[in-house]
Amino acid sequence: MRNSAILNKIINGRTKYSKKQFNSPKYIGSMSKIFNENSFESLNQYKVWYSKNILSEKQLYGHCIDIENEVGKEFNIFADEIYEYLYDLVFVKTWDGFMRRQKNAKQTMTFNGVTNIRESTPREDAVFAIDFFGTTLSGEHIAIQVKPHTFKWKAYEYHYIQNLKKNLKFLKKNKSYSKMVYMFEKKGNFTYRTYTLEKLKDIV
């Protein structure tokens, strides 16, 4: 893209002409909030949801016109190329980040000796809030949920509890699974929280 470098500065509010941060939740929604509160099976599903719940394509383009009106003359950039940049940021890069986290989680599980790793089906994810299933070195069957580290924040407490309720339902129905493991990712590294059936009963 011709002006990708300057667009990056403008969108992030790092120029003398633009003090606004055009990629902030105020303008395009909170990506972490969106992915903490929803599960998407494909990029297209995410696009459809975003267009219905955050910004339609027309509204996103309108945002680009606002940016052009504010800084376009100084940098000789126009709404069409701003839209191309924002579209890539909101959809492609965001989705790639989500897929990278899932891939890193799977590689980390393998490195830690988890075998028989299987991705959940869309129904299993929707009903039980589970991303993966696996078997530990000691032979325990575990269910795994992968989230960004922000999911632990108080702002997402309600959604966290709703997930734990679904996890409890799964462990009650599937006695061969001993634990529910949460993997929280931050900059490629993971921290963990482990829940047994009894612990989930105490929480929810």
| β-sheet with 132-135: strand ranges across | 115-119, 132-135, 141-148, 177-186, 189-196
Residue 129, classified by CB atoms within 10 Å of its CB into exposed (0-12), middle (13-18) or buried (19+), is: buried
Tens of pLDDT, residue by residue over 15-59, are: 555 556 677 788 888 888 898 888 898 999 999 999 999 999 999
pTM of the full structure: 0.77
Tens of pLDDT, residue by residue over 105-135, are: 999 999 999 999 999 998 899 899 999 999 9
Confidence at residue 1, expressed as pLDDT on a 0 to 100 scale:
54
Q: How many CA atoms lie within 13 A of 197 on its CB side?
A: 11
CA 183 to each of CA 31, 56, 84, 104, 178: distance values in angstroms, whole numbers, following the listed order: 19, 32, 33, 11, 16
CATH number for region 112-203: 3.40.1350
Percentage of the chain modeled with pLDDT above 90: 67
Q: How far apart are CA 52 and CA 65, in angstroms?
A: 20
Kindly list the domain boundaries of the chain, sorted by start residue. 4-96, 112-203
